[in-house]
Structure 1
Amino acid sequence: MHLDRILVENVLGLRSADLALRTPITLVAGPNGAGKSSLGDAVSMALLGKPRRVAKKKDLAQLVSEGAKRGRAAIWADGEQMGEMKLPSGDHGEHLPAGAQYLPYVLDSTLFATGSADDRRRLLFQLTNCKATPDLIEKRLLELGAQPDKVATIKPLLLSGFPAASEDAKARATDAKGAWRGVTGEVWGEVKADGWEPELPATSVDQQDLANSQNQLQQVEQDLADAQEALGGHRANAQNNAQRQAKVAELVPEADLLARRTVKLEEDRKRQLEWSQKLIEAEQAASAATAMKCPCCSELLVMEDGKLMKLPTVPGADAAEAAKRVAEYEGYLQSAMRAIDNSLRDVASSEAAVKQIKELKAELAAEVSAEAIETAEQAINELRQQRDALRAKVEALQEVARAIADRQAVIDKAARHHADVVAWSLIGDALAPAGIPAKLLGEALAPVNDSLAILARLAKWRPVVIGNDMALTYGDRAYGLLSESERWRVDTLVALAIAQLSELRMVLLDRFDVLDLKSRSQLLGLLLELAKIKAIDSVVLCGTLKEPPAKLPAAIASYWIESGAIVQPSTSQAA
């Protein structure tokens, strides 16, 4: 996969980059924070369509360079566009070559080392085209002596991988051990279970004694059930009585207010009548202000319903003063009416409380004394003891009877369960990582480790080896014990091996500046040799440098990133 062009616009810290890749190796350098890692993220997103540095699509806008509204990353390879991703929409288009499933491992060299052992194992099986089909596994299991029927049962699970099938077989072995224990009453052991037989019963069973004990047990269990039901009823009554009495106590203060509230209601009604009368008188007196004198008899007349009527005489009333008091009396009357409404509500609440108290007292059940409950509890405890003793006796007699009658059947059943344990354990162990997968993995690891050995020799670095347990070592040291620069060497060699075996023949390597000058020279020597023998098509190498590099071989193009933009190679470098 020969990269032709990388175009990035406004992605993270990289605002502008348009790289025409005409050499096998492209070196992209610059100061810290210039946008080098952003270039790697952009390439990955363009090819894989998955966001980097954020987990959710709604956060894609955070990947657009500050101040910009849209971003874009596009990759061309082998004469056509391979992938493009737009931000913040997340729209993605791709036209990827064969082996694209391995792209994540060549775009992020740390991915293999940080993955789980199972993920690494699956990758290597696919990468080396190592066959692990259910039919092949079935054949190998049968060669190990596994039972055909059990192999047929486990075979469909092989489609999900070795771990699932192995765990299922081991779980079935555990179930068989449990079944063996259920038959024998003992914990399964490989030696003990082989040829196990129960001891012969020391005594015989009196059938009449067994029948009498069963009848007694049945009667005691019935008596116990009746006693527990009665005690439950007593406790329920006591609890209900307590709840009713508590409710009564809660209602008493409300009920006790009934007499006082009734008196207040009557007083409020009297005040309403008084203010009604005063309002009528004031309104009548106020009518004098608009009265007309009769021309015949000099009587005062008022217009009511279209008719002239004689003005009622209100003793001592002054018309002007009465007119002023009408509004005041209306307010007093409305206040009195509101007081009546409130008093009616309060009286109704107290009457309801009185009624509810009567109902609750009528519902009170006969009180059960604490002594009666204690006596019932003691009787129940005694019945339980009798029941337990009789139950133990009946079970012991029944066990002896069963042991005598079923001894050979128990022996045969235990032998079958033991055979199942052995058969399922054989399959579970064979499918475990140290079994058939280890043999297959050895076949898969050989070409990978061979490739790693060649790469290490070309780089003049210590050998990198992937063990059967999927652990990585650099020389004789485990990956987890390595320094940062040593881990970078391991990750780089693994990524290059994957690039070769997958036939992608391209890698993106970031942070090469963790290497010292000698190791950087060794790295470039390795990459140049791989490019020379056509073992690699494109390498994008990113890292921090103080200044643009000079005097690079013709197979290496150099680009300088500064303030989020690519600076094209100088004339001397381009030459």
Structure 2
Amino acid sequence: MKITSIIAKNFQGLRHAGLSLSTRIALIAGDNGAGKSSLRDAIAMALSGKPFRVEKKKDFGQLVMEGQKGAEVRIEFDDGRAATLKLPDGKVVYAGGASLEDADTLRAVLPIALNPASFAAATPDERRTALFALTGCGADERGVEQRLIERGLEQRYIDAVLPLVGSGFPAAEADAKRRATEARGAWKALTGEVHGDKKAEGWSVEAAPVDDAAIQQAKADVQKVQDEISQAQQQLGELRARHQQQAGRQQQIARLKEQAAPLERIKAKLAADQLDLAKVRDEVEGISAGPAPRVGLVHDLARALNLSLTMAIPFGDMNAEQRGYLKSASAALELYAAEHGSLADDGVPPSAEDLARLPQLQHSLEMMSRAVANDERDLKVATDAEAQLKALTEGEQPAPVSEADVTGLVERISLLQISHKNVQARLAELQEQHRIAADAAERTQRAAQHHADVQAWSSVADAMAPDGIPAEILADALRPVNDRLFELSQMAGWPRIQISRDMDITADGRVYGLLSESEQWRADCIIALTLSIMSGLRLVLLDRFDVLSMTGRGQLLDLLEGLGDQIDTALVFGTMKGPAASDEVVQAFWISGGEVATGEPYAQAA
């Protein structure tokens, strides 16, 4: 990236600077406060679009020279491109092509090329990011997978993280950290404790194990007692049914005995009532029938006998035989009269007295008929009761059931129910213990899995972290970088600069923080030149070169000259007592009072 022209107006303490660059190396010197740093900042801001002395856009106006409304910086390149910065809006307008930072490599290296000390000031992760971009060592999924396998990670974790590796190690690391955090949260939710590696390693839920045989035996005991209860309840139902049948039989026997007891009395009453009924019926029929003659042999014989007796009386005295005959005949007629009435009434209409009695006789006949019907009904009831009683009391009878038998069985069922409750409680207790033990085992297992997830995802996060697999990959890619650092260090005659896989910077083995100011400047210079050359940027701004001794300054310029076309533009800033001289290799510029002038031949410099 060869700069051909730099124009800066009203930028900080720089009133006007117009630099037309004809060589690859430009030495820009001046006294303290002359405007060197302002020119460097102007060039850096125009190239990167980022301010160096203010952070917020609202402060861009502070970069404009006091008393001026605006400032402008324009940088032109040999390929026709140009970058123009205007303040106070802070916008950089590119002409003739894309911006300087379009490539990832350039975007990573440009800040270091513009400010070499920024690499050492960056964090190890930021250094890795820049070197990743520089070396182009990306995330090869197969290579990453193999490295994760070598770290002992299970395939399921590897399969989960590999798709994210393509988006970059930071995304994969963030996802692994998130999953590890979620696993810690799940462990805490399950255990109620804060996760810790040592605590979680052997964490378990204590619970006494329960033998399955004991549960099966308890179930068998419950079933056995339940079967006994069912059998006893069935027996109780049968016993109560028999007891009820027995009580009903006794009641029925008592009722039948009561019904059969008046049988003989009912028979006698029925006979008497039947005679009375016949007598009253005849009398009613006699009165009701009227004067109809009596018809029949008996009546004819009675009439003849009566006639004979009547005719025999006038014939004188009778002997004893005759008197006997008459006496027997009279007795027979008396019997006839007693049964059929006097022959004198034969064919005689009923008297007024008889007719007067007839309603009463008819009422008596009706009452007597009902009495006989009732007697016959009662007789049937008593006769049937006697027959049923005989059927109930004769033959084989069922065994009697007492109240004590029923009460005893009820008490046995009650005891069985108590026993059933006890064995059920024992079974429930064993099952609860078994559930607790199973839950404890399951919680222990889940906690172990969550802990395994925490460890695995933490290992994945560590592997995806900049000092993990990226560092391993970068370590392999650092060899050409360190080779170039070594090459430039030798060219300058300075201590060997190296970058370790942990991103430590050393000079001949001494860590950067232990180096002197000039040693650190030389390390920054070698790193910036190396990164700029390897990235293809081939541009560097080296400020404060006056920290070097005269020998060191000569070594720097010899180095820059020796790099040839590996560096297109090297702008070197520093404080000097007077203007330096220009030659065909180094073009010198002197800044004084905020303005720039071309220097005399460099060989004449003091």
Q: TM-score range by the shorter chain?
A: 0.5 to 0.7
Q: TM-score, normalised by structure 1?
A: 0.59
Aligned pair partner of 1:402 in 435, 440, 460: 435
The answer as to whether partners of 2:17 and 2:596 remain within 8 angstroms in 1 is yes
- The equivalent residue for 2:547 is 514
2:208/2:433 contact within 8 Å kept: no
Partner of 2:509: 476
Alignment of 1:182-201 (within 5 A): 193=201, 198=206, 200=208
Q: 1:335-346, aligned counterparts within 5 Å?
A: none
Q: 1:130 pairs with 118, 124, 137, which one?
A: 137
On the 8 A contact 2:540/2:569 being kept in 1, the answer is yes
In structure 1, the residue matched to 2:99 is 96
The whole-number CA distance in structure 2 between the counterparts of 1:193 and 1:104 is 47
Aligned twin of 1:47 = 47
**C-alpha separation in 1, matches of 2:431 and 2:12:** 79
In structure 2, the partner of 1:120 is 127
For the pair 1:146 / 2:153, whether they are aligned, the reply is yes
Task: Note the alpha carbon deviations across 1:300-335, whole angstroms, 9 max, x for none.
Answer: xxxxxxxxxxxxxxxxxxxxxxxxxxxxxxxxxxxx
- Give the corresponding residue for 1:267: none
5+ long unaligned stretches in structure 2:
219-428
Match of 1:497 among 504, 519, 530: 530
Question: 1: distance between equivalents of 2:433 and 2:202?
Answer: 24
Q: 1:32–1:544: 8 Å Cα contact kept in structure 2?
A: yes
State the AA in 2 paired with 1:542.
Answer: F
Give the whole-Å Cα distance in 1 for the aligned partners of 2:592 and 2:515. 32
Secondary structure of 2:99's counterpart equals: coil
Task: Give the alignment partner of residue 535 of structure 1, picking from 566, 569, 591.
Answer: 566
Q: Which amino acid aligns with 2:110?
A: L
* Residues 130-189 of structure 1: per-residue CA shift (max 9 Å, x gap): 112556534643565533433343345546643553354355446546656776789776
Give the counterpart letter for 1:92 in structure 2.
V
Return the alpha-carbon distance in structure 2 between the equivalents of residues 52 and 173 of structure 1: 39
Partner secondary structure for residue 80 of structure 1: coil
Match of 1:461 in 2: 494
1:423 shift after superposition? 3.6
Distance apart, 1:444 and its partner CA: 2.6
Deviation at 1:487, TM superposition (A): 1.6
Specify the SS of the correspondent of 1:504. coil
Corresponding residue of 1:546: 577
**Pair 1:570 & 2:600 matched:** yes
Q: 1:183 to 1:518 in 2, by over 3 A?
A: same
How far is 1:92 from its partner? 2.0
Evaluate the alpha carbon distance shift between residue 407 and residue 92 of structure 1 in structure 2; reply closer, same or farther with a 3 A threshold: closer
Which residue of structure 2 lines up, in the alignment, with residue 76 of structure 1?
76
Deviations 1:103-135 (A, max 9, x none): 222111122122222211111101111112556
Distance 2:200 2:71 in 1: 71
Separation in structure 1 between the aligned mates of residue 505 and residue 151 of structure 2, nearest angstrom? 30
Match of 1:257 in 2: none
Deviations 1:262-285 (Å, cap 9, x if unpaired)?
A: xxxxxxxxxxxxxxxxxxxxxxxx
Match of 2:585 among 555, 571, 574: 555
Partner Cα distance (1:71, 1:177) in 2:
55
Matches of 2:485 and 2:186 in 1, distance apart? 50
**Unmatched 5+ stretches in structure 1:** 208-395
Does residue 18 of structure 1 match 2:18?
Answer: yes
RMSD over aligned Cα atoms: 3.6
What is the aligned partner in structure 1 of residue 484 from structure 2? Answer: 451
User: Counterparts of 1:91 and 1:500 in 2: how far apart (Å)?
Assistant: 28
Mapped to 1, the partners of 2:588 and 2:572 lie a distance apart of 9
Structure 1 distance, partners of 2:207, 2:534, is 64
Report the Cα offset of residue 509 of structure 1: 0.8
Residues 195, 560 of structure 1: alpha-carbon distance in 2 compared, 3 angstrom cutoff? closer
Give the Cα–Cα distance (whole angstroms) in 2 for the partners of residues 61 and 192 of structure 1: 57
Mapped pair 1:8 → 2:8: yes
Q: CA distance change for structure 1 residues 561 and 192 in 2, over 3 Å: closer, same or farther?
A: closer
Contact preservation (8 Å) 2:497, 2:506: yes
Distance 2:86 2:568 in 1: 27
Structure 2 CA distance, aligned partners of 1:41 and 1:424?
45
Cα distance in 2 for partners of 1:171, 1:113 equals 31
- Give the aligned partner of residue 349 of structure 1: none
What are the residue-to-residue correspondences of 1:158-197 with 2, within 5 Å? 158=165, 161-163=168-170, 165-166=172-173, 168-170=175-177, 172-173=179-180, 175-176=182-183, 179=186, 193=201
8 Å Cα contact 1:104/1:111 also seen in 2: yes
- What is the CA distance between 1:496 and its match in structure 2? 0.4
Report the CA distance between 1:39 and its aligned residue: 1.0
Conservation of the 8 A alpha-carbon contact between 1:508 and 1:539: yes
Bigger Rg, which one: 2
1:561, CA displacement in angstroms? 1.0
Separation in 2, partners of 1:408, 1:37? 70
User: What is the identity, as a one-letter code, of the residue corresponding to 2:76?
Assistant: W
**Alignment-mate amino acid for residue 538 of structure 1:** T
1:546 deviates by 0.2
- More divergent stretch after superposition (512-521 vs 63-72): 63-72
Tell me the secondary structure at the aligned position of residue 566 of structure 2.
coil
Which stretch has the larger CA shift, 101-110 or 432-441? Answer: 432-441
**What CA distance in whole angstroms lies between the structure 2 residues aligned with 1:120 and 1:179?**
36
Q: Which amino acid aligns with 2:595?
A: A
Distance 1:42 1:400, change over 3 A: same
Distance 1:539 1:398, change over 3 A: farther
CA contact (8 A) 2:141 2:165 kept: yes
CA contact (8 A) 1:505 1:538 kept: yes
1:107 corresponds, among 106, 114, 121, to 114
Letter in 1 for 2:535: S
487 and 199 in structure 1: CA distance in 2 versus 1, 3 angstrom threshold:
same
Tell me, yes or no, if the aligned pair for 2:580 and 2:599 is still in contact at 8 Å. Answer: no
Deviates further, 407-416 or 512-521:
407-416
Asked if the contact 1:10/1:64 (under 8 Å) is kept, the reply is yes
Per-residue CA deviation, residues 227-253 of structure 1 (Å, 9 max, x unaligned), is xxxxxxxxxxxxxxxxxxxxxxxxxxx
1:558–1:180 CA distance, 2 compared to 1 (3 A): closer
Seen in structure 2, the aligned counterparts of structure 1 residues 400 and 84 have a Cα distance that, compared at 3 Å, is: same
TM-superposed CA distance for 1:559, in Å, is 1.1
Shift of 1:23: 0.8
1:442 paired to 2:445: no
In structure 1, distance between residues paired with 2:162 and 2:83:
39
Seq. identity, %: 45
Letter in 2 for 1:63: L
Q: 1:401 to 1:125 in 2, by over 3 A?
A: same
8 A contact 1:5–1:18 mirrored in 2 = yes
Q: Which residue of 2 aligns with 1:328?
A: none
d(CA) in 1 for partners of 2:472 and 2:455? Answer: 22
3-state SS of the aligned residue for 1:54?
Answer: coil
Instruction: Name the CA distance, whole Å, in 1 between partners of 2:601 and 2:200.
Output: 84
Q: Which residue type is aligned with residue 490 of structure 1?
A: A
CA–CA separation in structure 1 for the residues paired with 2:125 and 2:205 = 43
